[in-house]
Amino acid sequence: MKFFVETIGCQMNVNDSDKITDYLLSEGLEYADDVLQADLVILNTCSVRFSAEHKAYSFLGRLSEQKDKNPRLIAGVVGCMAQYAGKSIKNRFKFLDFVLGAKELDKFAGVVSKFIETGGVRKATRKSGVFEYVTIMRGCENFCSYCIVPYVRGPEQSVSVDEILAETEKCVKRGAKEIILLGQNVNSYNYKNIDFTGLLKEVSLINGLERIRFMTNHPKDFPDELIDEIAANDKICKYIHLPMQSASDYVLNRMNRKYTYGKYKLLVEKIRNKIPRINITSDIIIGFPGETDDDFKETLRAAEDLKFGGLFIFKYSPRPNTSAYKLKDDVSTAVKKERHSVLLERSNEISKELNGYYINSEEKVLVDAYANGICESRNSQNIKIFFNSAKDLTGKTVTVKITKVFANSMSGDMREN
C-alpha cells in the first residue's frame, strides 16, 4: 500500500505530517511518488488565511476526481481546517474516509489503522533531514484579534522537558544536526517551572546536536535571560523571528498585540546590543481593518529603521470566530496589493543591503542539500548560502567565503579546511 501526505501551512503542520509519515512507514506502507500513485492520501490543512483554505478545497476537488476513477482510494483530512470546519468538509466531500482535527492527531493511528493493510514485514523509518522540527508547545492564548489559531488549536500546553529531550535525541540519532523548537509563542513555554531559557540550556547539552533554532517569539514577553542565553550559547543560532505585524500603535492596539512600536523598537535594539550579528526577521500584516495610508507609512518607515533580515508580508484575511471578523474589511484588495508590493520591494532592497556586509566574510555553514554540483547551506543567521562542490557535503559544516549577495541568499567559495 502506498501513501501520499500533502501539507499546507506552518512548520507545526510539517512536523505533524512528519509524524504521520513515521507512523505509516512503521506500519509497512511505502511512499507514493505522487498523489496519483497513492492508495492512501492525507491532506494536512491550515486555516490561518483564506488562501490556505482555498488551496485545500482545490486539492480536495482534484482528489474527488481521483476517487471517481479509483473507488478503493482511502482519503483523509487532518489539521486546523479539519478542526474547526470538519463537519462542513465531510458534508461537501462525502468521499472522505476520515476527518481529524489538529487537536485529535493523537487518535490518528487508531483511526487510520482501520483502513490500511499493514505490510508487517518492512519496518522502514523516515530518513532524517539535516534539520528537524520538535514541537515544544501547542496552542495559543494570546488572541491577537485577527488570528484563528487560539480557536483552532486551543489553550497553551507545554510538552514535558523529558519528551522534548527524548524527541531531540531521537532526531540526532537519525542524523539531524539542527533542531528547530516550535511553538506559537515559545517565550511562554513553562513546564514544572522550567521556562524557555531553561529548556534551551537542557537541549543544548545533547551530544551530537550542533545547532538549535526556535520559533516563534512574541515581542510582548521576551525576557533578558533569554537574550543573554542566545548570546552566550554557541549552539544557539543567531537568528530570531520576531513578528511585528504593524508599526502603527493604532493598528497594534486593534490587533491586541500588547506592545507599542516604541516598545518593539527598544527590544530590537536591546537584542542587537547584546547579540552581535543577530539576524532578526519579522511578519507584517498589511490592510488590517482601519489601516490608513499613514499607518502603512509608519510600518514602511519602521522596516527602514529596524532593517529586518527578511519580512514575511501577509494581506489581512478575515477569519471566522476572531474578534477582528466583526470589523469591516475596509482596505480594498487593490490597496492591499499596492502596499504589499511597496513593502516587499523595500524589504528586498534592505535585505540585499544587509547581506552586502557579508562580502568577503568567511561563514561557517551547515549543508542542507546537494544537487547538480551545488551545495545549499545556511549560516548561523539562517541565511541561505550556495557554493560549488564536487562532493555531496550534506550534513557537514564547512567554511565558505562569500562572493555574491542577493536579497534572500548569498553564494561563495568553500575554503579548504
Compute the distance between CA of residue 29 and CA of residue 124 in angstroms, rounded to an integer.
8
Report if residue 146 touches ligand 5AD, rule: CB under 6 A: yes
Binding ligand SF4 (rule: CB under 6 A), the pick from 63, 140, 212, 278 is: 140
Report if residue 149 touches ligand SF4, rule: CB under 6 A: yes
Report if residue 147 touches ligand SF4, rule: CB under 6 A: yes
Binding ligand 5AD (rule: CB under 6 A), the pick from 29, 74, 82, 147 is: 147
Question: Segment 260-319, which members bind ligand 5AD (CB under 6 A)?
Answer: 283, 285, 314, 316-317, 319
- 10 Å Cβ neighbour count for 161? 17
Binding ligand SF4 (rule: CB under 6 A), the pick from 23, 95, 143, 386 is: 143
Which CB, 47 or 355, lies closer to ligand 5AD? 47
User: CA 217, 222, 225 angle in degrees (round to 5)?
Assistant: 120
Binding ligand SF4 (rule: CB under 6 A), the pick from 7, 13, 185, 377 is: 185
Q: Tell me the number of residues near ligand 5AD by CB under 6 A.
A: 12
- 10 Å Cβ neighbour count for 398? 18
Q: Which does 285 bind (CB under 5 to 8 A by kind): ligand SF4, ligand 5AD, none?
A: ligand 5AD
Q: Which three cell numbers stand for residue 148?
A: 484563528
Minimal distance, residue 44 CB to ligand 5AD, in Å = 16
Query: Which residues fall within 8 angstroms of residue 368, CB to CB, at 6 or more apart?
Result: 129, 130, 131, 376, 377, 378, 394
Quick one: 2 exposed, middle or buried, by C-beta within 10 A (0-12, 13-18, 19+)? middle
Q: Which does 142 bind (CB under 5 to 8 A by kind): ligand SF4, ligand 5AD, none?
A: ligand SF4
Report if residue 339 touches ligand 5AD, rule: CB under 6 A: no
Which CB, 29 or 48, lies closer to ligand 5AD? 48
- 10 Å Cβ neighbour count for 51? 12
E strand map for 219-309: 239-241, 279-286
Nearest to 183 by CA among 201, 170, 195: 195
Minimal distance, residue 320 CB to ligand SF4, in Å = 14
Residues in contact with ligand SF4 by CB under 6 A are 140, 142-144, 147, 149-150, 184-185, 218
Residues in contact with ligand 5AD by CB under 6 A are 48-49, 146-147, 243, 245, 283, 285, 314, 316-317, 319
